[in-house]
Chains A and B, each alone.
Chain A
Amino acid sequence: MIFKKLDIKTVFILVLSLALIISFFVGQKNKIDYRKDEIKALHAKNNELSKKNDSLATANAILDKKIAKIDLLIKANDIKISEKQSQIETLKRRKNEIPSYVNVLSANGVASSLSKYIERTRKSSSSN
């Protein structure tokens, strides 16, 4: 009965109003979840990890300096060792030369060498 009284204009107005209301509700539903909180948490985690890595890199830089110091000490030690090695070589050469040196000595030479040796030994024993 009510619908028969309505003219076509009113029907169209009602249809349009209805469409407007429906579109309003449908439009409200279409919200995208950007998961901002999750991304924020991931960023925070990454920042924390980056900070940890930075501190580890700093620690490694300090350790590198320590290694460089140790290397310097090793280098100095090696120089001393090579000096001592050349000293050893010289002494070995001297030791090898002793028989030929003694063989050519005259009686006076032998006596003089023994005297010198005794002098050296006495000096070193008195200094000790």
Chain B
Amino acid sequence: MPARSQNILKEQERVQAVINEYGDTVIQMSLLDAKLILKVVLEKEVNDSLLDVYTVVDSLNKNKISLLFQKIEVFQIEKQNLNEMVVNLNAIIENKETETQILNETIKKQKKEIRKQKIIKIVALVGDVVLPVTTLLTVMFVK
């Protein structure tokens, strides 16, 4: 116990300031109060650390959000390109269809032409045989 103590605060105060034998001012309180203060102090210390970590996590999350936005932008550009590619491919398909149509029409015409040529060939063949024979026979009979 201090030899020379001086109550600065009122008697009913839970915390008292006393001057010990060496002349130092000492704050005294009950163990329960000291424990309460220690709890608050330690919790505050942990809360401070938690706040620091939360600040870092917040900045990391912000960084992640900006990266995700960048990713979305890239995806949008890619989507635009893909849409353009689809439009081009549809145009190619349309062109191919037109080409096929033209070729089919040509094939039809060729078929008609081949049939015509066949008929002409048959007529020519018949003419080649019939006309000379007729001529020969006529000449023979006329004489």
B139 in contact (CB, < 8 A)? yes
A21 in contact (CB, < 8 A)? no
Are A81 and B61 neighbours in the complex by a CB distance under 8 Å? Answer: yes
Are B74 and A67 neighbours in the complex by a CB distance under 8 Å? Answer: yes
Tell me the dominant secondary structure on chain A's binding face: helix
Within 8 A of B (CB), among A37-57: 38-39, 42-43, 45-46, 49-50, 52-53, 56-57
- Which residues from chain B contact A56 at a C-beta distance below 8 Å? 81-82, 84-85, 88
Contact with B along A97-109 (1 / 0, CB 8 A): 0110111010100
- Nearest-neighbour CB distance to chain A for B106, whole angstroms, equals 6
From known contacts A42-B98, A92-B50, infer whether A102 and B35 are also in contact, taking CB-CB under 8 Å. Answer: yes
Within 8 A of A (CB), among B41-99: 41-43, 45-47, 49-50, 53-54, 56-57, 60-61, 63-64, 67-68, 70-71, 74-75, 77-78, 81-82, 84-85, 88-89, 91-92, 95-96, 98-99
- Nearest-neighbour CB distance to chain B for A59, whole angstroms, equals 6
From known contacts A70-B74, A92-B50, infer whether A46 and B95 are also in contact, taking CB-CB under 8 Å. Answer: yes
- Nearest-neighbour CB distance to chain A for B38, whole angstroms, equals 5
Contact with B along A23-44 (1 / 0, CB 8 A): 1001100101111001100110
Are B91 and A91 neighbours in the complex by a CB distance under 8 Å? Answer: no
Are B113 and A30 neighbours in the complex by a CB distance under 8 Å? Answer: yes
From known contacts A46-B95, A117-B41, infer whether A67 and B71 are also in contact, taking CB-CB under 8 Å. Answer: yes
Chain B contributes a number of interface residues (CB within 8 A of A) equal to 60
B8 in contact (CB, < 8 A)? no
Contact of B88 among A12, A27, A49 (CB under 8 A): A49
Are B67 and A74 neighbours in the complex by a CB distance under 8 Å? Answer: yes
Which 3 pairs show the lowest CB-CB distances between chains A and B?
A: A95-B46, A49-B88, A12-B135
10 other A-B residue contacts (CB within 8 Å) besides A117-B38, A117-B42: A9-B135, A12-B138, A45-B91, A45-B95, A60-B78, A63-B77, A101-B42, A110-B35, A114-B37, A117-B45
